[in-house]
Structures are given as C-alpha cells and as structure tokens.
C-alpha cells in the first residue's frame, strides 16, 4: 500500500537491517492495516549500537557547547520544515487526530530548540578556598552513553525529551522507541543526522523490547537509562540497574485526580474537562481521570460533562473532523472494556459510552465513557485506565477530597478548578504530585520541568532541570 514505510536500524552512522534480517509490522489502529515495517533489533545489533555510542563519546563530549547547540538548532529547523509529513505518519501509526499529531511535532521542535540553548548554559561554580592560593571549582560533565526507552502514546516528543538534553550535555545515545510510532521517530532521527550529528553519537534500535532492554541493562558501557512507560516495567529496570549502578530517570504511570471546587463556572469546566479527558483517547500519563466534584455542583457538572462528551466525534485521525481516535491496539481495547465492566460491577453508574461503537467495525475504537458515583474502592479508581474513561464522584470538604486524591501510590499530575487564589494555593500545597494544573489541563510545556513522585517515578524532563539528569558533577580543589 502507498502508506507502507520501511524502517531500518541506525547504528554507527549507517542505516542497516537487523543482523538476522527479522522485521515486524506496525498497523494503523483505525484500520488494522500495516503502515510501517520495522527492523527487529537483536542482541547483536544492540551491542553494536552501544559500542558505537561508547566509541563516539570521547570526541562528542569535547565538541564545544556552541557547536553542539548549532547541531540541535538545525535539527529543530529541519523537523519544523517536515512537520506535516511527520505528523501524518504519527497519526497513521498511533491513531491520534491529526491536529494533536501536529501539536506533538510542534512540541518536539520546541524541545530540541530549547536544549540547543541549554547546551550553552551549563554553568559551573568557582569559590575562594580556605587558604591563600586555593580555589574550589565545580564543573558538569556528560554522564556517558545514554539509553532512551519510550512509550507509544507520544513517541516523537518523548524521544526528543531524552535525545535533545543528552546530546546538549555531550552524551551519546542509544534510542529505542516503542514499536508503534517507529516511523515518525525515524523521521525525527533523520533530522538529527542531516543536521550533522557525528556517526555513533545517536543510534536507533527498533522492534520488540526484550532483547534490546536486557542487553542494555547488562552493559557497563551504558551509564544512564531514561525510561517513559509503565510502573511495572520501570520497577524491573530499577532492579536490573543495580548490578551496573546506572543513573536512572523514570517517568512512569499516573492516575490524575481533578478537584472541582464549588465556585466554578460548571458548564465551562465540564466542557474543557470532556476535551481534556479524551485527548489521545485518554492514552496520556497525565490524563485527568478521577473527577472529584463538590456535591453542591456535581449533578450539574455531570449533566454538562455528559453532553460535552457526547458531542465528541470518533473517527480516523486523518479526518479533520475527528476529535477522538482509536486505542492503540486490541489488547488495550479489551483492557478498557473489562475495566468498565468491572467498575459497573463495583457500583459505578454508566452514563455514557462503555462499548465499542456500532458504526465502526474495524479498528480499535471505544466510545468516550462517563461513569458516575464511582466508589473509591472500584478497580478503575485504583488502577490507571489509560483510555477514554472519566470517573466522577462527589466530595464535601477540602481535607476529605485531598486525602482521597492522595490515597493512591501515583504522583504524576493533578488538576484543580476554582476562582479562589487561596483555594488554588491550598490545593497545590496539599497534592502529592509533580505537576499541578490550575484551571487548565495543560500539564507539560518545554520550558518547565515534567515528572512525578511516589510510584510515578523520579527525575525531570523539560525545562532547565531536564539537562541535569545527563550530567555528572565534579569538584576540583586547586592549590597553587
């Protein structure tokens, strides 16, 4: 078919097939038709990529920061020029509506451009010593070879959040995106290559994760792993990192609470909540999920929320009229179906959706779903749904709702809506998360740090903090 793209590995400056010739297919989740054929990297390929990155490290870390900056800036410019092509590929591979795919590519351009600047701002320290002729110096140096593992829901920008600061810091990279979204990530990698990243500095491994991840974790040449994905896999990588004492950054799952206080414009908050909940079909780690609404306004909120959600249109992401695309694969579709059934069995009231749409008999579509009066003990209130499922419940007072919002081991993002600055500040202070949105569902922006606490992980991406995880700190005591 015309949309079928072939993707090879990129190792040591060369595009090449897997050593054993294996390939796999990625399907359009809206049609179930193959759209990308990718190489399946083996242990041999992974070792080759690690060794290429290690060999390229000494020269790349000596490249002046202004020169590294220029390479990143050019890569951002090239990606901006190709944004429509890459966005279309992204929609075909992961199903998100084309407007959301364009927004992801724009965010990727901004991320690379931001770290082009940060490459030139790696400030050290100089202090007078304790004796005459003595100086203390603190300098930052690249941590070394970095492995970047990312999820499929935002495949391009998630890789950029790791590749860009790593290269800016002077590290070399072995990137492994999720198999879904590989074609779009490959197009971004081409931009770095054409921008002048030297051979071996940036390597791309594609395919299923098992052989790649285990080889990376075994290698003492890899000094840092940055991972975006599920909590169980993150926990496995943390345990595996112990033998080689790797540096880690972990951006793991979330189950974001939304606290809607009684002083809001109910219709307005409900409308923006419906859109925020169903972005990328709810397959977002910071997706608003547990809606705690003050009892005095809950009935009105639910009425407006259901009406706004019902207006959202399901369809193929390339259709500009589509608001909600498909789930990523059949496993996720079956998971979401079962979670809705379990939540109803646990006492939740199904008000909208909860099933596969009758008029879409191909693809992994699931209707946007609203459940009311969901008990805190219900499965969906305890386990991340990662789908277009909104769980609504009421609350009476501030201390009660904060305790319920904080009750889970997740701590990535949370949201609150209020007209009171005092209430907003109290809520920000009380929530045990890394990100808080007040009167907005925008949880990530290039210039500000992104990451969680508790089981949602550690380390930060974006902002000036994002480059720190790719740097070692060295102290020098100089006596002359």
Closest among 55, 46, 57 to 9, alpha carbons compared: 46
Residue 344 and residue 336 in contact, taking contact as beta carbons nearer than 8 Å:
no
Residue 285 is among the residues annotated as catalytic for this protein: yes
Cα gap 150→266, rounded to integer Å: 37
Closest among 87, 99, 152, 85 to 315, alpha carbons compared: 99
Cα gap 210→241, rounded to integer Å: 15
Please return the burial class of 320, using the count of CB atoms within 10 Å of its CB with bins 0-12, 13-18 and 19+: exposed
Set 7, 104, 285, 461: catalytic member: 285
DSSP codes of every residue in 185-224: HHHHHHHHHHHTPPTTTEEE--S-HHHHHHHHHH-TTEEE
Beta bridge partners of 185: none
Residue 111 is among the residues annotated as catalytic for this protein: no
Q: Is 285 helix (H, G, I), strand (E, B) or coil?
A: coil
Please return the burial class of 454, using the count of CB atoms within 10 Å of its CB with bins 0-12, 13-18 and 19+: middle
φ and ψ of 392, to 5 deg: -110, 140
Query: Which residue pairs from 398-403 have beta carbons closer than 8 angstroms and sit at least 24 positions apart in sequence?
Result: 398/423, 398/426, 398/427, 398/430, 401/259, 401/292, 402/259, 402/427, 402/430, 402/431
Pairing of β 256-260 and β 247-251: unpaired
Looking up tokens 């109803």 gives 344
Q: How wide is the angle at C-alpha 120 spanned by C-alphas 105 and 14, nearest 5°?
A: 55
Set 251, 367, 384, 461: catalytic member: 251
Beta bridge partners of 450: 461
Residue 366 and residue 327 in contact, taking contact as beta carbons nearer than 8 Å:
yes
Angstrom CA distances, 5 to 100, 346, 356, stand at 21, 45, 29
CA 472 and chain centroid, separation:
24
The catalytic site residues sit at 251, 285
């Amino acid at each position: 078919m015309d949309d079928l793209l072939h993707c090879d590995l990129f190792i040591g400056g060369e595009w090449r097939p897997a050593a054993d010739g294996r390939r796999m297919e990625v399907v359009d989740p809206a049609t179930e038709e193959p759209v990308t054929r990718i190489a399946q990297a083996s242990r041999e390929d992974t070792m080759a990529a690690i060794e290429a990155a290690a060999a390229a490290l000494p020269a790349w870390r000596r490249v002046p920061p202004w020169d590294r900056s220029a390479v990143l800036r050019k890569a951002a410019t090239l990606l901006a020029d190709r944004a429509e092509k890459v966005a279309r590929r992204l929609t075909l591979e992961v199903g998100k509506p084309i407007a959301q795919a364009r927004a992801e590519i724009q965010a990727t351009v901004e991320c690379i451009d931001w770290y082009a600047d940060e490459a030139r701002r790696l400030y050290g320290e100089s202090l007078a010593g304790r004796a005459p002729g003595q100086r203390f110096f603190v300098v930052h140096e690249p941590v070394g070879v970095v492995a970047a593992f990312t999820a499929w829901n935002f495949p391009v920008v998630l890789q950029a959040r790791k590749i860009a600061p790593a290269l800016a810091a002077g590290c070399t990279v072995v990137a492994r995106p999720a198999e879904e979204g590989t074609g779009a990530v490959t197009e971004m990698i081409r931009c770095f290559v054409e921008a002048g990243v030297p051979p071996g500095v940036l390597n791309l491994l594609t395919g299923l994760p098992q052989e790649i991840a285990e080889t990376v974790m075994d290698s003492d040449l890899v000094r840092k792993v940055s991972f975006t994905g599920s909590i169980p896999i993150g926990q496995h990588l943390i345990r595996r990192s112990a033998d080689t004492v790797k540096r880690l950054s972990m951006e793991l799952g979330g189950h974001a609470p939304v606290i809607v206080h009684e002083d809001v414009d109910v219709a307005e908050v409900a409308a923006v909540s419906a859109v925020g909940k169903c972005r990328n079909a709810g397959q977002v780690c910071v997706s608003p999920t547990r809606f705690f609404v003050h009892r005095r306004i809950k009935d009105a909120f639910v009425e407006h929320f259901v009406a706004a959600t019902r207006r959202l249109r399901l369809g193929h992401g390339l259709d500009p009229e589509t608001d909600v695309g498909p789930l990523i694969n059949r496993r996720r579709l079956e998971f979401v179906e079962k979670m809705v059934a379990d939540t109803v069995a646990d006492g939740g009231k199904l008000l909208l959706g909860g099933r596969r749409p009758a008029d879409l008999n191909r693809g992994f579509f699931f209707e946007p779903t609203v459940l009311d009066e969901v008990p805190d003990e219900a499965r969906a209130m305890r386990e991340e749904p990662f789908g277009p499922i909104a769980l609504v419940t009421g609350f009476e007072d501030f201390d009660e709702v904060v305790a319920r919002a904080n009750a889970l081991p997740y701590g990535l993002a949370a949201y609150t809506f209020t007209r009171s600055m005092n209430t907003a500040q109290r809520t920000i202070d009380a929530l045990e998360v890394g990100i808080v949105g007040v009167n907005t569902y925008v949880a990530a922006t290039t210039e500000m740090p992104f990451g969680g606490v508790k089981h949602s992980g550690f380390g930060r991406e974006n902002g000036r903090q994002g480059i720190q995880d790719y740097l070692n700190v060295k102290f020098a005591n100089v006596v002359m």
